[in-house]
Chain A
Amino acid sequence: MNENEKILIIDDELQIRRLLEITLSASGYKIIQSVNGKEALVDAATHNPSLIILDLGLPDIDGQDILKKLREWFTKPIIILSVRDSEDEIINALDNGANDYLTKPFRSGELLARIRAAIRSIENTSDTATLSFESITIDLQSHTVKKNNELLKLTATEFSILSLLAKNRGRVLTHQYILKEIWGHGYSNQTQYLRVFVAQLRKKIEDNPSKPTLLITESGIGYRFAE
């Protein structure tokens, strides 16, 4: 498994790189390591990894700037792994094109799950007309959603939110991003609308709306569709 997946780890802390190397190698990933921003940009270009794990606090270039530079050409997933835990920093990173954000200290199980989800989401972006997850099937052409083969009655807005999240499966979308995509710029601060629609959506698609497994809340940041 994962034989062909190369992961580039960008982190200046030797101990973290070691830990990641051991953990990720054990799961069958090939590991490349960079200890600073300059090296990282070269390594990313020469090795073209399947995924990048990026620390924000690098000695030479700020992680957010590296992220922006990488995103000029690198289309595969980038996961941020940083001690910086302020919501601003996280939202910034996601807006700059990060697929996911994990704060240190982290649980390695959690990291592996995020990596798998991120890689899978890339594989799934082929322009299929239908997306299916567990019991849910979303038909993007006919704008219909089925749960256990039963047609669900969704409003236009509910469908837009669901398909936006589902198309970006596994990736955290910030509140501002979703609001802008669905309602337009004027609404980017009106989180309450998003909350109401997400609650309605959950009632329709989740088995247990109070313990959602598909539409997952990322505290203070946004939403993610389950891996």
Chain B
Amino acid sequence: MPDKFFTKYPNSTLLSKKIKHYLLAIIIVSVTALLCIPLSNTQSYYVVSFILLFVVSFLATIKGIGPVLVAATLSALVWNFFFIPPHYTFHIEKAEDILMFGMFFIIAFLNGILTTRVRRQEQLAREREKRTNALFQLTKELSKANGIEEATKVATDNIKLYFKLEAYIVLQNGENVLQPFKQIKEDKTLNEREYEIAMHAFEKLEMAGQFSGISSAHEKTFYPMKGTRLNPGVIVVKQNDELDEVQKILWDTFLTQISNALEREFLGELAQKVRFLDESDRLYRTLFNSISHELRIPVSTIMGASDTIISSNSSKDVQSELCHEIFTASLRLNRLIENLLNMSRLESGHFSVRLDWYDMNDLINKITKDLSEELSAYHFKVVIDDEMPLVRIDFGLIEQVLYNLLINSTQYAPDSTEIALSAKHENENLIIEITDEGPGFPETELKNVFMKFFKVNSRKAGGLGLGLSIVKGFIEAHNGTIDVSNRENGGAKFTIQIPSEKPEIKKQEDTIHE
């Protein structure tokens, strides 16, 4: 990473650094001249001129234009003074030597200027490349960021990396108002006065704080982020020096990129909210429609049947039959209410699983008794493993699970077929299977069976399509799983697995009474 990119030195050190460059140039030229003194007596002072030219070009590749010009001038003078005869004077005798001296001077100058220019251009290109890389990196990371929070982090991280500045981003709250001060106060990053400046920058969309026209006495600078459809917020940085031209360009590009990314995230969130509302609206309507249907049918039965009993002199037999209908309708209503309550318990998340040790026999007895009427038309078979240990479950929830599954079977399976319930304990798991000999589920629909409001045409009327999704919810609340499959010879099969260790029971002293 470009560590020294944009590194700045305070002015005093910068000055001494410059002086050092000049001194170094002078020293190098002087040392070269000294080393060439053995050649001064011969006629080979031309060689010395080449050596000096070489040194000047060499200096040009590593030093700035100033030191190089000094080196060029110095080497010309040194060459003249020490090497061109007569020695130790600036006087030149031969006309060709005057020509040589002039040419040496020009070549050294041009050489120095051209080389430094090339080097400077190369340096600029390198800086440009670093800037491009920085920008590329920022854009890449911003596009990968998922959500406002992540994008904000990417932005502050990159600002820190390339500008060596601690940045803090104050976002708007999603309704084009800056997030309230109370939220920021907890971070202790901004004080109230700074928040006011940020607010100003956000509302007026102009830079504020240090190095700006507004509240410039402040030590932090506030840059508003501008978007095309909404303005995401304000970037606050504490910078020691004003950014120079080149940095300013990069900073503005950073700002634009960050603004765009955050704007995108804000808009995305907004769109998601709208989608969510649409979805819940749709669910609400489905629920409302099917509830009114589900309520009307039994209520109509109750109204019609009781009205007949009250107003007509129907026979005892008819009356008793009608009463039976009323009773059935009330059971159906009760089931509906039960499912709605359970669904809302699940949806609200405000329900707890109360695990305790239970005897599966008790549970299945209870279910069998409660459903005796519904199951009377079927061959209901129960198989509980003889070695069945106690299981750790929420009795009420699992009761509801089995109740819903068995009711489901009675709704689809034809009369006089077998509905079987089995329970066993295997590998620290309670395994319950419920099978029927009904039509099963269409293969393509198997994956949707546990979805809310899922219904296939039932042999008997009724149901909101909530029963099985409640089953799944309750089983998952036990950290268990439920699977559905079609049996080979027709019918559906539900398999429940609930983790349940065997109970720890210490042997107790107990005497037998005779």
Contact = CB atoms under 8 A, between A and B. Distances in A.
Contact of B359 (A154, A159, A199): A199
A80 to B, nearest CB: 17
Interface in A181-227: 191-193, 195-196, 198-199, 210-212, 217, 219-220
23 contacts: A105-B330, A105-B334, A151-B514, A153-B514, A154-B513, A155-B510, A155-B513, A156-B510, A156-B512, A156-B513, A158-B510, A159-B513, A191-B356, A191-B357, A192-B357, A193-B508, A196-B390, A199-B359, A199-B361, A210-B365, A219-B362, A219-B363, A219-B366
Nearest to A199: B359
A157 interface: yes
Nearest to B393: A220
Nearest to A202: B361
A153 B511 CA distance: 10
Contacts of A105: 330, 334
A60 to B, nearest CB: 26
Given A155-B511, A195-B357, 9 more contacts: A105-B334, A159-B513, A192-B390, A192-B505, A193-B508, A195-B358, A195-B390, A220-B395, A220-B396
Interface string B494-514: 000000000111001011111
A151 B514 CA distance: 8
Contacts of B503: 192
A12 B357 CA distance: 38
B157 interface: no
B354 interface: yes
Given A196-B505, A219-B396, A155 B357 contact: no
A196 B391 CA distance: 12
B354 A217 contact: no
Contacts of B511: 155-156
Contacts of B334: 105
Given A193-B508, A210-B361, A217 B366 contact: yes
Given A159-B513, A193-B508, A219-B395, A87 B354 contact: yes
A25 interface: no
Nearest to A193: B505
Interface string A127-165: 000000000000000011000000101111111000000
A6 B357 CA distance: 40
Contacts, number: 63
A217 B365 contact: yes
B399 interface: yes
Given A192-B505, A195-B358, A217-B366, A157 B396 contact: no
A156 to B, nearest CB: 5
Contacts of B365: 210-212, 217
Interface of B: 330, 334, 354, 356-359, 361-363, 365-366, 384, 390, 394-396, 399, 503-505, 508, 510-514
B396 A87 contact: yes
Nearest to B351: A86
Nearest to B370: A219
Contacts of B356: 175, 191, 220
Contact of A155 (B366, B384, B512): B512
Interface of A: 87, 105, 143-144, 151, 153-159, 175, 191-193, 195-196, 198-199, 210-212, 217, 219-220
Nearest to A215: B362
B266 to A, nearest CB: 43
Which 8 residue pairs of A and B lie closest in terms of their CB atoms, listed nearest first?
A192-B357, A220-B395, A192-B503, A155-B510, A217-B362, A191-B357, A191-B356, A156-B511
Contacts of A196: 390, 505
A116 to B, nearest CB: 19
Contacts of B358: 195
A198 to B, nearest CB: 7
Contacts of B390: 192, 195-196
Contacts of A199: 359, 361
A119 B42 CA distance: 141
B391 to A, nearest CB: 10
Contact of A144 (B504, B505, B513): B513
Contacts of B357: 191-192, 195
B396 A153 contact: no
A175 B395 CA distance: 13
Which of A151, A199, A220 has the most chain B CB atoms closer than 10 A to its own CB?
A220
A143 B511 CA distance: 12
Contact of A195 (B330, B359, B394): B359
B294 to A, nearest CB: 16
B512 to A, nearest CB: 5
Nearest to B382: A210
Contacts of A156: 510-513
B513 A153 contact: yes
Contacts of B362: 217, 219
A88 to B, nearest CB: 9
Contacts of A211: 365
Contacts of B384: 210
A143 B514 CA distance: 9
B358 to A, nearest CB: 7
B365 to A, nearest CB: 6
Interface centre among A151, A191, A198 (most CB of B within 10 A): A191
A161 B120 CA distance: 99
Contacts of B399: 219
Nearest to B384: A210
Contacts of B504: 192
A78 B330 CA distance: 27
A96 B311 CA distance: 46
A198 B358 CA distance: 11
Nearest to A143: B513
Contacts of A195: 357-359, 390
Contacts of A155: 510-513
Given A193-B508, A219-B395, A198 B359 contact: yes
B295 to A, nearest CB: 15
B506 to A, nearest CB: 9
B513 A157 contact: no
A222 B156 CA distance: 61
Contacts of A198: 359
A219 B356 CA distance: 11
B508 A153 contact: no
A143 B334 CA distance: 46
Contacts of B330: 105
